[in-house]
Chains A and B, each alone.
Chain A
């Protein structure tokens, strides 16, 4: 069965600083990988996804993520954060065939300070 670990429960960064949110997964084959963002009281919005091909994927709002098979990681990055990026971020993994479900990490809450 697949699993996802987001080791950072809460991260605080200054506006304009760079950001990296960590995600490690466990799955026996090449997974489907996702990052979602959730603003307070809202549903989840898809930031980006990786299925195959180029291991560096670009998403919305200036985010990118890199799939590293050797490290079983899919870390989310942004070169310069904005106050509006304050939210909860979820990494998720899905099987690459036949499986109907995604497994989510427990989330990382991002706080932006002026």
Chain B
């Protein structure tokens, strides 16, 4: 069966510090991978998605970036965090091209102070 992991679970970072959040999927190959952000009391905002190694599509211009160095690894990064980057970050995967369903990881709560 497939499993998706995210770490860290919780992170508190000062403004201006760098960020690296990691997402890995087990039990599948060549999945589509997604990064979402959920601000307090708001819905899900798609940040990035990837259909393959090194292929990243950005949905929202911001100071965040994403990378996919390996087939089942998706990384969300920032060089300098802003207060507005605080939120709950969710990674999701989908087995393309046959299935439309996205499956979500447990999330990372980021607080920028």
The answer to the question of A110 belonging to the interface, with a C-beta cut-off of 8 Å to chain B, is no
Number of A-B residue pairs having CB atoms within 8 Å of each other in the complex = 47
Residue B46 at the chain A interface, CB threshold 8 Å: yes
Query: Interface readout for B1-12 with A: 1 if CB under 8 Å, 0 if not?
Result: 000001000000
Q: Closest B-chain residue to A107, C-beta based? A: B43
On A, residues with C-beta under 8 Å from B are 32, 34, 36, 41-46, 49, 51, 90, 94, 96, 100-102, 104-107
A101 touches B106 (CB 8 A): no
Asked whether B101 is an interface residue with its Cβ less than 8 Å from the other chain, the reply is yes
B contact patch SS: strand
Q: Is B44 an interface residue (CB 8 A)?
A: yes
- Give Cα distance in the complex from A100 to B92, angstroms: 12
The 9 closest A-B pairs by CB, nearest first: A106-B43, A43-B104, A44-B104, A104-B44, A32-B100, A43-B106, A43-B107, A94-B100, A107-B43
- Name the CB-closest residue of B to A94: B100
Extra pairs beyond A44-B90, A100-B49, A106-B43 (20, CB < 8 Å): A32-B100, A36-B104, A41-B109, A42-B107, A43-B6, A43-B104, A43-B105, A43-B107, A44-B44, A44-B104, A45-B104, A46-B103, A90-B43, A100-B32, A100-B57, A100-B96, A101-B46, A102-B100, A102-B102, A104-B44
Q: List 5 A-B contacts (CB under 8 A).
A: A42-B107, A43-B106, A90-B43, A100-B57, A106-B42
Q: Which residues of chain B have C-beta atoms less than 8 A from A105's C-beta?
A: 43
CA–CA, A105 and B43, complex, Å = 7
* Interface check B51, CB cutoff 8 A: yes
Decide if A49 touches B106 in the complex (CB within 8 Å).
no
Q: What 0/1 readout, one digit per residue, does chain B (62-83) give for beta carbons within 8 Å of chain A?
A: 0000000000000000000000
Q: Chain B contacts of A102 at CB under 8 A?
A: 46, 100, 102
A104 touches B106 (CB 8 A): no
- Cβ distance A32 to chain B, nearest Cβ, rounded Å: 5
CB neighbours of B51 from chain A (8 A): 100
Whole-angstrom distance between the Cβ of B27 and the nearest chain A Cβ:
16
